Amino acid sequence: MITPQSLYCRTLLHLFLCLSCACFQIEGKPLLSPGDFIIAIDEDFSSRSSSPVSEEVANAIDGNVNTKYLNFGRQNSGVIVTPASGAAAVQSFRLTTANDEPPRDPAAFAIYGTNDQITSTNHSAGNAETWTLVASGERSLPDARFSTAPIVSFGNNVSYSSYCFLVTGLKDEARANSMQFSEIEFFTQPDGQGQSVLAPGDRIIAVHRGSPESSSPVGEEAFRCIDGNTGTKYLNLGRENSGFIVTPGIGRSAVSGFTITTANDFSGRDPVSWELFATNDRIRSVEHSEGKSEQWVPVASGSLTLPSTRFAKGDPVTFNNSTSYASYKFLVRAVKSGAAVVAVQFSEIQFEGNEASGTGLEINSVLYDRVAKTITLSWASEPGQTYTLFYSPDLTNWELDVDDSILSGGEVTSFGPFNVINPGSSTGFYRVQRN
């Protein structure tokens, strides 16, 4: 048996409980600790979108099959269109092939909808809005040129003011240097029935949804900024709009301030503008993603002036927030030297605020069967809730769910015995989070 006190020895098992609570205490305190769940993120996508002058995106809805839309972004390029006719629930679409090169034809697609105002610009990543997936799948277009493909139907009863159509695969990706089609049509009913949604003159922009720009060198990962060691740092090559998502191990908390400590070398990489968001959703975003898989609530934002001295703690930043949340997203909106540097960095960050009261963090027991290589966990819980148990080999990758629907046992919940993940390793990390 491993007692709660022996967990600090870290000889076998590292357990972090993130349990949700109801209200907050009055006294402020540091909220982040080494071992808390944390991942690097960046809201920016790289975009390779570009089109020849005579093959721009407006050709896709001009009603003329002899013109075409071509994008050198290849797969994951497409369009964002806002029909002048207003919001509509699109339930089918149809593509028409363009001239030459069948390998450039779309072979797979994804359609997203939004009611946000479109602020993405032409030939951008098209991710400035919050998008909801409407439909996706494969679509085989005829090899014949200037040929109308069969209609694709899908279920959708939600009206959106704008749609994003992405070509997620090409007919022959190895041979294609671009993506192209001559026309795209949307309809409000399956099988091309109902109202035709798109018309020449509708607002339409070209996009290419590449991949998030987030990346960190080995030894400079996100968890380094809460490891309590100013000699290490978190660096993200995504620069502005990069940051992290963190779930404090103490449970829900009301963050009302933070302090940042500068890292080594270039002061031009220091944050100068920031924004903080919060959520009680289960964290589904993964390391180095855009961090938008949850519903986030803005908490605070502002400017920041850090000392030019390296390894120096900046002045505390405070703001009003009395609402407790399970997880927070911290984004650096600008760095001191802008495009003159390649990254953002800081050695430490600490959130200050009020820890939620109610069901506290209390490990009742952790039982390990060395022969069977199984574990049974028990933790203080809330009646009527469900919990998810996560596993990580390195405190960075938390994608593996041991179980995502553990029913509360009341004031105490026990789970197990379950097989130890990666029993050949001398260490493993488990985290329990209320759903």
Give residues with Cβ within 8 angstroms of 370, minimum separation 6: none
Domain residue ranges of the chain, discontinuous segments joined by +: 26-44+213-357, 53-208, 363-434
What are φ and ψ of residue 102, in 5° steps? -55, -30
Q: Is the pLDDT of residue 335 over 60?
A: yes
Name which of 383, 285, 272 is nearest 334 in CA terms: 272
- The answer, as to whether pTM is greater than 0.75, is no
Instruction: For residues 148-171, give the mean pLDDT.
Output: 96
Res. 363 pLDDT band, cuts 50 70 90: low
The pLDDT tens digits for 372-421 are 888 898 888 777 777 888 888 877 677 677 888 888 888 788 999 988 88
Mean pLDDT over each residue of the chain, to the nearest integer: 88
Q: Is the pLDDT of residue 357 over 60?
A: no
Res. 96 pLDDT band, cuts 50 70 90: very high
Per DSSP, the three-state class of 9 is helix
Per-residue CA distances from 254 to 259, 277, 324, 328, 425 (Å)? 15, 12, 4, 10, 36
Res. 368 pLDDT band, cuts 50 70 90: confident
For residue 293, what pLDDT is reported?
83
User: How many residues does the structure list for the chain?
Assistant: 435
The pLDDT tens digits for 381-393 are 777 777 888 888 8
Instruction: For residues 67-84, give the mean pLDDT.
Output: 97
CATH classification code of 26-44+213-357 = 2.60.120.260
Instruction: For residues 336-356, give the mean pLDDT.
Output: 94
User: Which range, 140-144, 273-277, 364-368, has the best average confidence (pLDDT)?
Assistant: 273-277
Instruction: For residues 87-91, give the mean pLDDT.
Output: 97
Q: Give percent above pLDDT 90 in the chain.
A: 66
Q: Using an 8 Å Cβ cutoff, are 421 and 391 in contact? A: yes
The pLDDT tens digits for 111-126 are 999 999 999 999 999 9
The pLDDT tens digits for 232-271 are 999 999 999 999 999 998 888 999 999 999 999 999 999 9
Q: In CATH, what is the architecture of 53-208?
A: Sandwich (2.60)
Q: Is the pLDDT of residue 359 over 60?
A: no
Res. 28 pLDDT band, cuts 50 70 90: low
CATH class assigned to 363-434: mainly beta
The amino acid occupying position 281 is: D
Intrachain domains 26-44+213-357 and 53-208 with the same fold: yes
Q: Is the pLDDT of residue 19 over 80?
A: no
DSSP string, 205-271: EEEE---B-----TT--GGGGGSS-TTS-EEETT-TTEEEEEE-TT-SEEEEEEEEE--SS-GGGSE
The pLDDT tens digits for 266-315 are 999 999 999 999 998 888 888 999 898 888 999 999 999 999 999 999 99
Distance CA 307, CA 315 (A): 9
Res. 347 pLDDT band, cuts 50 70 90: very high
Distance CA 397, CA 226 (A): 16
